[in-house]
Structure 1
Amino acid sequence: MNAQEQLIDRFYRAFTALDTDTMAACYAEDATFDDEAFSLNGRTEIAGMWRMLATAVRKQQAAGSGDWKLAYSSVRADASRGQAHWEAHYLFSATNRQVHNVIDADFVFNAHGLIAKHRDRFDFWRWSRQALGTPGLLLGWSPFLKAKVRQRAADNLRNFLAAESKTTAAAQA
Structure 2
Amino acid sequence: MHPNAQLIETFYRAFQRRDAEAMAACYATDVVFEDPAFGELRGADAGDMWRMLCARAKDLDVRFSAVQADDTAGRAHWEADYLFARTGRPVHNRIDATFRFRDGLIVEHRDRFDLWAWSRQALGLPGLLLGWSPLVRNTVRAQARSGLTQFQSKR
Tell whether the structures are fold-level matches, with TM greater than 0.5.
yes
Identity of matched residues, %: 54
Name the residue aligned to 1:53. Answer: 53
Among candidates 98, 120, 123, match of residue 132 of structure 1: 123
d(CA) in 1 for partners of 2:87, 2:25: 31
Name the residue aligned to 2:6. Answer: 6
Among candidates 66, 76, 86, match of residue 84 of structure 1: 76
Name the residue aligned to 1:37. Answer: 37
Query: 2:113 corresponds to which letter in structure 1?
Result: F
d(CA) in 1 for partners of 2:62, 2:132: 25
Question: What is the count of residue pairs matched by the alignment?
Answer: 154
List 4+ stretches of structure 1 deviating above 6 A.
Answer: none
d(CA) in 1 for partners of 2:3, 2:55: 29
Describe the SS at the equivalent of 1:48: helix
Describe the SS at the equivalent of 2:142: helix
Q: In the TM superposition, what are the counterparts of 1:24-173 in structure 2 within 5 Å?
A: 24-38=24-38, 39-42=40-43, 44-57=44-57, 60=58, 67-110=59-102, 112-164=103-155
d(CA) in 1 for partners of 2:51, 2:21: 9
Name the residue aligned to 1:167. Answer: none
Q: Alpha carbon RMSD of aligned pairs, Å?
A: 0.7
Structure 2 unpaired stretches of 5+ = none
CA distances 1:79-126 after superposition (whole Å, capped 9, x unpaired): 00000000000000010000000000000111x021111000001110
Task: Tell me the TM-score normalized by structure 1.
Answer: 0.87
d(CA) in 1 for partners of 2:104, 2:110: 17
CA distances 1:120-157 after superposition (whole Å, capped 9, x unpaired): 00011100000000010001111110011001100110
d(CA) in 2 for partners of 1:77, 1:132: 35
Structure 1 unpaired stretches of 5+ = 61-66, 165-173
Deviation (angstroms), 1:68: 1.4
Structure with greater Cα Rg:
1
